[in-house]
């Protein structure tokens, strides 16, 4: 019998959704399906159950042009979530870690006739994710979340994980792709972005600091999240951390990457794609709150050089994001979801403005990291 009794379908509902949902081992009856969240990569839908004795679910179409090895990706998520759950009580494991809902025969995803890949997680109730951080307590909880995440994964054998996107956060590779896109200029947009190109060109060597420290053996590779923007952590109604989500990019990385990408979204008083650049200011109390939350959880395993590297991550991430958005703009918007024609250009400009602000306050931000670290360790 079908698990889908009645659905409040709308134009955003995927085709053949009943057939897709019926493949999965879900409980109860789904009575409503709606598009959910503001992620840039996957298509996400909330599946509402008929009554509260059964869970709601989160259905996702995995963007398989970006994640080309879906079996490997799902295996990664299973390894990571099993490892996290093994350290928690049964009750905490169910609500503080993502739970994959398998198909009836146990597979972790479903490939439909059109070649789309689908997966389902338990929907974690009574939580919020924030595109824009509002309060210090939220930033502090976010820091705790990602610090704890890294700490709990420190004893997972990294060789078991595949790299879902090879060189994902390698700035050298990102710059090579950017210069290739400039050379191809396939959308004939290069002439519009001369100022942005100049800004990027002036910082290429400086932005390779973390990579170089890694190559010199001064920074260890750890298991990191690699997509720590703030809407990838769920907070409960009391603004306490509930769950780290969006585990698609978990793989070996440097801790400064997770710190830098989280700060990129926390310290910005405006949104990632703010049109009015004057609104992009730094919220330094939120920076401090995140740093305290993170270092309290992570200081026992971090080396002094890793702590020093955090500030390089803070500079690198708005830069890398500007490079990535601008590359996509030059390539005619093939990677990120866009809501209007010049969206990737607007995002690029906003990230460059954010980096200018961070550069202007770098000494102050560095000294906050050092003070917090010396007080906590």
Binding site for ligand ADP (CB under 6 A): 36-37, 39-42, 44, 58, 98, 121, 123-124, 127, 129, 231-232, 234, 245-246, 248
Could you say which of ligand GN1, ligand ADP, Mg ion, none residue 97 binds, taking C-beta under 5 to 8 angstroms by partner kind? none
Nearest to 127 by CA among 247, 27, 46: 46
Considering the complex, state which of residue 233 and residue 286 has its C-beta at the smaller distance from ligand ADP.
233
Phi, psi values for residue 19, rounded to 5°: -60, -40
Asked if 272 touches ligand GN1 (CB under 6 A), the answer is yes
The set of long-range contacts for 177-180, using a CB threshold of 8 Å and a minimum separation of 24, is 177/327, 178/323, 178/326, 178/327, 178/330
Check residue 196 for interaction with Mg ion (CB under 5 A): no
Report the residue from 20, 28, 33, 39 that binds ligand GN1 according to the rule CB under 6 A: 39
Say which entry of ligand ADP, ligand GN1, Mg ion, none residue 209 contacts (CB below 5 to 8 A, set by partner kind).
none
Binding to ligand GN1 by CB under 6 A, coded x per residue (else -) over 321-350, reads x-----------------------------
By rule CB under 5 A, what string of x and - marks binding of each residue 37-56 to Mg ion?
A: --x-----------------
46 binds ligand GN1 (CB under 6 A): no
Q: In what helix (H) or strand (E) does residue 5 lie, and over which residues does it extend?
A: strand 4-8
Q: What is the DSSP letter of 269?
A: S
Contacts to ligand GN1 from residues 301-320, by CB under 6 A: none
Least CB distance to ligand ADP at residue 234 (A): 6
Q: Which is nearer to ligand ADP, 324 or 353 (CB)?
A: 324
**CA-CA-CA-CA dihedral for 144, 165, 202, 212, to nearest 10:** 70
What DSSP element (H or E) covers 141? helix 136-153
Find the part of the chain contacting ligand GN1 (CB under 6 A) among 130-138, 227-235, 326-334, 363-371.
227-235
d(CA 149, CA 153) in angstroms, rounded, equals: 6
Do residues 296 and 376 touch, judged by C-beta distance below 8 A? Answer: yes
Tell me how far, at minimum, the Cβ of 229 lies from ligand ADP, in Å.
8
* Site of tokens 């710190």: 259
Considering only residues 241 through 280, tell me which ones interact with Mg ion, judged by CB under 5 A.
246
In this chain, which of 232, 242, 283, 291 binds ligand GN1, going by CB under 6 A? Answer: 232
When CB distances are held under 5 to 8 angstroms depending on the partner's kind, the choice from ligand GN1, Mg ion, ligand ADP, none that residue 228 binds is none
**41 lines the binding site for ligand GN1 (CB under 6 A):** yes
Among 222, 229, 312, 353, binds ligand GN1 (CB under 6 A): 229
In order, the DSSP letters of 26-90 are: --S-EEEEEE----SSSEEEEEEESSTTS--EEEEEE-TTT---HHHHHHHHHHHHHHHHTTS-H
CA distance 148 to 191: 45
- Exposed/middle/buried for residue 164 (C-beta within 10 Å: 0-12, 13-18, 19+): buried
User: Which one of 232, 265, 268, 321 is in contact with Mg ion (CB under 5 A)?
Assistant: 232
Closest approach, Cβ 374 to ligand GN1, in A, equals 31
Closer of 94 and 299 to ligand ADP (Cβ): 94
| Under 8 Å between Cβ of 149 and 298 | no
Rounded to 5 degrees, what angle do the CA atoms 98, 23, 111 make?
A: 85
- Which residues in this chain contact ligand GN1 in the complex, by CB under 6 A? 39-41, 66, 227, 229, 232, 246, 248-249, 272, 321
């Amino acid at each position: 019998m079908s698990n889908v009794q009645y659905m409040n379908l709308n134009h955003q509902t995927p085709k053949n959704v009943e057939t897709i949902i019926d493949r999965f081992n879900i409980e109860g009856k789904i009575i409503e399906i709606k598009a959910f969240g503001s992620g840039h990569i996957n298509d996400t839908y909330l599946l509402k159950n008929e009554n509260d004795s059964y869970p709601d679910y989160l259905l996702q179409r995995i963007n398989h042009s970006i994640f080309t090895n879906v079996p490997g990706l799902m295996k990664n998520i299973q390894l990571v979530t099993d490892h996290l759950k093994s350290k928690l009580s049964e009750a905490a494991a169910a609500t503080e870690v993502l739970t994959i809902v398998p198909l009836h025969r146990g597979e972790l995803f479903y490939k439909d006739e059109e070649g789309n890949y689908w997966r389902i997680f338990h929907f974690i109730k009574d939580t919020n994710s924030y595109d824009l951080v509002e309060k210090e307590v939220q930033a502090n909880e976010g820091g705790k979340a990602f610090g704890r995440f890294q700490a709990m994964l420190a004893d997972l054998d990294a060789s078991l994980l595949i790299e879902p996107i090879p060189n994902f956060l390698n700035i050298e590779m990102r710059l090579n792709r950017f210069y290739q896109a400039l050379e191809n200029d396939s959308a004939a947009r290069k002439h519009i972005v001369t100022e942005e190109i100049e800004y990027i060109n002036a910082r290429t060597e400086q932005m390779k600091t973390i990579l170089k420290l890694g190559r010199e053996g001064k920074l260890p590779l750890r298991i990191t999240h690699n997509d720590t923007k703030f809407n990838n952590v769920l907070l409960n109604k009391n603004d306490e951390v509930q769950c780290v989500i969006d585990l698609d990019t978990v793989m070996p990385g440097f801790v400064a990457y997770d710190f830098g990408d989280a700060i990129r979204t926390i310290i910005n008083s405006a949104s990632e794609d703010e049109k009015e650049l004057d609104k992009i200011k730094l919220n330094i109390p939120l920076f401090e709150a995140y740093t305290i939350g993170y270092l309290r959880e992570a200081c026992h395993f971090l080396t002094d050089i890793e702590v020093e590297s955090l500030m390089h991550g803070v500079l690198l991430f708005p830069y890398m994001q500007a490079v990535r958005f601008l590359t996509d703009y030059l390539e005619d918007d093939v990677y990120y979801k866009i809501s209007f024609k010049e969206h990737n250009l607007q995002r690029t400009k906003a990230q460059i403005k954010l980096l200018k602000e961070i550069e202007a306050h770098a000494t102050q931000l560095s000294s906050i990291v050092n003070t917090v670290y010396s007080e906590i360790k």
